[in-house]
Structure 1
């Protein structure tokens, strides 16, 4: 409903206007009345309205003076309609100069008032759509600049744009926030959700984060990970946030997490990266947040920690507590692809852990060491290998929904799959023969739910290695390649069909209209509707 203020020094005029039409039926609510311009100013300083209907001749302050003042002092940008018993054009001219929408002579006729109100509604709807479109474009453009910093591939323009939108005072951390889908019951069974359900939950989580952050909402961003199976929220935490809340860092993040968990009514987890001194170093904090996220999947049963920190220096200090001999033997077997030895070496590691009665924290530390060494093993095979994609492999390929995370059987499966991955990194003889087939398959099935894992199974190639090949061949991740192709297909449909946005969205493989529009803006610089309109205008 649009809020309306009526201003006239004659009470019977105010009463007549209130009764002349059914305001609510027409989409308006009478927010208040005033007897002159001064009373109207006092009202507007406390209450914002969308439309002001004011008499032109009143004591203390006329309607024209009221209009001039609220425009000059930016008190209100509401639509303004002048009422008058005078048909002098000079009054109308002054009103129009100050952005008056219309000029109605008394006595006001119902049909004339309805006509003006319909004009107000139509213009208000168009203005709202324009503001929403600008806001979407602005948010998408900002996200592109922030992701450039997060990924460590940015220039001065990216940096300046991010700094113009968000405060970057003191120490900074990248924090990954997600719905926690780790098993909660004794059986370790996971509740499987559809992609659409996951997306809806992610969007809800994002909104709750924005509600908590309020004016710091620019620090929160959707879909940072290039893994199409991740439904993550990225948070750029700065020290001032805790300081202004009167808390320390741990207390602030605990409070943040508790607040959004209560609204989500389900567990949420934060993965906290190392502190860096400047926003330009954000990619280092993002890297370590990813490591914390990967380690979380290996934590032993019974752990209930919801904020996972990773501080590299602390890990280095505790190396003396490692089951180093057992770990190094397992790492060696993985590197040499000795699958027949991997199960017995995993058993030996767990036996040593049990024999020494290591607690959950120390078990986690041992798994951390194992993962670090395996990451280094991949980089030793190929110095150009992308570390983020290795971590994605650890997250995605090793964790099937039916497997108890952190269990002995799970570690055996992961080690065997990683051995295959290292073997394929060494081979490098399949790139040309496979990528052309994969590219053709994507072009024929881009609207389907394609994943690297499915493509890897189809073409008998490790999915993590396939991801590396994608980046080397096309210069982008698989997710970006697929998204770019889908958007190009969507652009073609916008140009050559009259299909609506939601119909095009479904045809090119998306299931969330807002997500589709945001991705379109990110690549084309405007909404689908604007793209279609501009293209058709250029052809006329």
Structure 2
């Protein structure tokens, strides 16, 4: 809807313009009216209409002078329609080519008025679209210039032009802020209008779906600016948001280093900075080496992680890892210590349960330098991914062993070979044998004999079956073979087990 302002010294004409024209149907709304040019000029500057309909003959200031005065102001781009009588026609023609958009003769013809309004509405829509496109281009150009400075463009002339576009001098105070959703998901891009309040916020694309901002000019209430930025981003996404704030520097030349500093906070959250408010992490104002002492990592942390992996609890493993890292942070551990600790665990998980990656792809035990390029969160994510893969692998191993045990329990009376059981499970015999030994403490064949002996013990105590019959029932074709395995596992013969000293039982058969 476009705003229209009406000016005429005749009250009846004003009333007619207001009531007889269906402005809303034509895409306009009346925002005000005046009875002379001087009052109209003050009101026009205040309400900033898109269209002014004015009489040409008025006291104090006529319509022509009103248009000329308005055209001298850059903040008054309104279009004008002149209303005139027949006697003024030539005068109107001499000035309207440069001053007015159109004119109408009194008395006003409704159909002609509709034609003029329709034409002007098309012009206004085109101009508004062009203005929006130009504003978008300016905004995109400013964001591109800012991204160029943040990247540290090597071309001095490009840097100079970008700095001029953004109004940055060599002594301009600047700091860099990176925003990210609290769950680490950078897939949702933020949208935020720039501020020109205390501490201007200049936005740029951080290249990862997140948003970057440069605050130009150190505000008196810097914490309030950050808090407001954080609140609006959180409200926009409906999710938790983190801000990572660099220290202050001066001039566009410092933007690249400040961006690196903010990215370091983001990638090593929460071990590299100070949380000055909920969800706002800021770089320390003193060297990081002065903030951190090197604590001794919890020696039991790794053992707990491995137990959880082998229990198939990948989520529990991730939670235990976070608890260990939080304890280290509370004890003053800096990012380098945390990275080394995670690197050790990653290599050990890969060695025990992998390989998930080649040794050359791993950060390296106790090698902080080899993991500097990766932040704490990236290394933690890789370790948790390995833990989940290891837990899944253990689940599959347990399932294979459990299925092999079930086959033994159901078929122990028949001849059983590891190769046949492995074939039934679709596994390699050697691999299944290794899993079985690790899970039960016995080889597959030892387990079969143990199960047969345990079954024989029940028959010996509860039935009158002969020894040879018991042997055949539990899967031995040779009674001597049965006696040998029985004695190896119980330390006595089947007969002695059935009739221990001092117990009356069935006679040996």
Using structure 1 for the length normalisation, give the TM-score: 0.55
Q: What's the CA shift for 1:135?
A: 1.5
Residue of structure 2 aligned with 1:174, choices 169, 173, 176 = 176
For the pair 1:122 / 2:126, whether they are aligned, the reply is no
- The question of 1:316 aligning with 2:316 is answered no
Task: Give secondary structure in 2 for the equivalent of 1:80.
Answer: strand
Q: CA deviation at 1:399?
A: 3.2
TM superposition shift of 1:119: 1.0
The structure 1 residue matched to 2:241, chosen from 268, 277, 281, is 268
- Stretches of structure 2 lacking an aligned partner (at least 5 in a row): 303-316, 345-359, 365-369, 391-509
Among candidates 384, 391, 399, match of residue 381 of structure 2: 399
Counterpart for residue 163 of structure 2:
162
Alignment of 1:336-347 (within 5 A): none
SS in 2 for 1:25: helix
Instruction: Classify 1:413/1:52 alpha carbon distance in 2 versus 1 (closer, same or farther; 3 Å).
Output: same
Counterparts of 2:341 and 2:89, CA distance in 1? 81
List aligned pairs for 1:417-496, cutoff 5 A.
Answer: none
| Cα gap change, 1:255 to 1:314, in 2 (>3 Å) | farther
SS in 2 for 1:134: helix
In structure 2, the partner of 1:362 is 332
Q: How much has 1:21 moved relative to structure 2?
A: 2.2
- After superposition, the C-alpha distances for 1:339-362 in whole angstroms (9 at most, x for unaligned) are xxxxxxxx9xx99x9699645362
For the 8 Å contact 2:3–2:50, the answer to whether it is kept is yes
Q: Deviations over 1:152-194 (max 9, x none)?
A: 1242333333343345665422110122115xxxxxxxxx89x
Correspondences of 1:16-27 after superposition (within 5 Å): 16-27=16-27
CA deviation after TM superposition for structure 1 residue 129, in Å: 1.1
With 116-125 and 45-54 compared, the bigger mean Cα shift is at 45-54
**Counterpart-to-counterpart distance in 1, 2:104 and 2:139:** 41
Residues 254/29 of structure 1: CA separation in 2 closer, same or farther (3 Å cut): closer
Find the aligned partners of 1:314 and 1:87 in 2 and give their Cα distance. Answer: 83
What is the distance in 2 between the residues matched to 1:354 and 1:396?
16
Is the 1:271–1:290 contact (alpha carbons within 8 Å) kept by the matching residues of 2? yes
The CA distance in 2 between the partners of 1:16 and 1:258, in whole Å, is 50
CA distance, structure 1, for counterparts of residue 240 and residue 42 of structure 2 = 48
Q: Distance in 2 between matches of 1:305 and 1:411?
A: 28
Superposition RMSD on alpha carbons, in Å? 4.3
Alignment partner, residue 149 of structure 1: 149
In structure 1, how many angstroms separate the alpha carbons of the residues matched to 2:337 and 2:380? 14
Shift of 1:413: 5.8
Give the corresponding residue for 2:86.
86
Structure 2 SS opposite 1:240? coil
Report whether the alignment pairs 1:65 with 2:65: yes
Give the deviation of 1:115 after TM superposition. Answer: 0.5
Structure showing the higher helix proportion among its residues: 1
Cα deviations across residues 314-339 of structure 1 (Å, max 9, x unaligned)? 3212454243899xxx9xxxxxxxxx
Deviation at 1:96, TM superposition (A): 2.0
Match of 2:443 in 1: none
Structure 1 residue 373: Cα displacement: 9.9
Compared CA separation, residues 389 and 223, structure 1 to 2 (3 A): farther
Cα distance, 1:298–1:49 mapped onto 2, change above 3 Å: same
Task: After superposition, give the CA deviation of every residue in 1:22-74 in whole Å (9 maximum; x if it has no partner).
Answer: 11111110111111111211212322111111111112221111111211244
> How many residue pairs were aligned?
345
- Is 2:214 the partner of 1:240? no
Deviations 1:98-130 (A, max 9, x none): 431011111111110001101110000110111
Distance 2:25 2:199 in 1: 36
Q: Which of structures 1 and 2 has the larger relative contact order (alpha carbons within 8 angstroms, sep 6+)?
A: 1
Give the whole-Å Cα distance in 1 for the aligned partners of 2:183 and 2:2: 43
Look up the match of 1:283.
Answer: 256
Could you say if the C-alpha distance between residues 224 and 260 of structure 1 is closer, same or farther in structure 2, counting changes exceeding 3 Å?
A: closer
Q: CA deviation at 1:258?
A: 3.7
TM-score normalised by structure 2 residue count: 0.58
Q: Which runs of 5+ in 1 are unaligned?
A: 183-191, 331-346, 382-386, 401-408, 417-540
**In the alignment, which residue of structure 2 is the partner of 1:426?**
none
Deviations 1:418-452 (A, max 9, x none): xxxxxxxxxxxxxxxxxxxxxxxxxxxxxxxxxxx
